[in-house]
């Protein structure tokens, strides 16, 4: 999709694709989403994180909020939303460096530690598992 005359493109380095493939099913729909408390997929965040924490979310479902296709060199079914699009410039790349996914654009590093989650697995968590995870993540919220 072209927004403001610019098609959203992401170069995914082979090392990043391998990292993703070892953690999620990359044949699912993948969403490039912020992880700042601003959307249904975000588990962490806070006012200090707005627009500078990202995640790749895998799901077998479609989501009308995440309908902007992100053209990529690895052939992944990757989408983002209008809200996330605000933070993404030209020259997007996803790399794996220093044991973390790194999202960059022409302006520099957007996130040096992009997280990965399988939204389908989250839906299958028990209440006790969700509570334990929220407690652990509460230490990361600013």
Comparing CA positions, the residue from 105, 98, 97 lying closest to residue 32 is 105
Secondary structure element (H or E) that encloses residue 26, with its range:
none
Predicted local confidence at residue 1, as pLDDT: 46
- Number of residues that this document lists for the chain: 142
Distances (CA, A) of 86 to 50, 89, 118: 11, 8, 24
Q: What is the pTM of this model?
A: 0.80
pLDDT digits (tens, 9 = 90+) for 50-96: 556 899 999 999 999 999 999 999 999 999 999 899 899 999 999 99
Answer positive or negative: Cα dihedral of 102, 105, 106, 108.
negative
């Amino acid at each position: 999709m072209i927004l403001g005359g610019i098609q959203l493109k992401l170069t995914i380095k082979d090392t990043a694709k391998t990292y993703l493939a070892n953690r999620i099913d990359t044949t699912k729909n993948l969403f490039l989403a912020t992880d700042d408390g601003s959307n249904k997929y975000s588990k962490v965040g806070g006012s200090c994180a707005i627009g500078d924490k990202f995640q790749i979310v895998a799901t077998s479902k479609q989501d009308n909020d995440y309908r902007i296709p992100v053209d990529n060199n690895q052939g992944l079914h990757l989408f983002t939303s209008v809200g996330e699009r605000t933070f993404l410039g030209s020259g997007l790349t996803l790399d794996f460096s220093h044991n973390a996914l790194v999202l960059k654009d022409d302006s520099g590093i957007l996130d040096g530690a992009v997280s990965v989650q399988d939204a389908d697995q989250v839906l299958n968590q028990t209440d006790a598992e969700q509570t334990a995870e929220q407690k652990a993540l509460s230490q990361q919220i600013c």
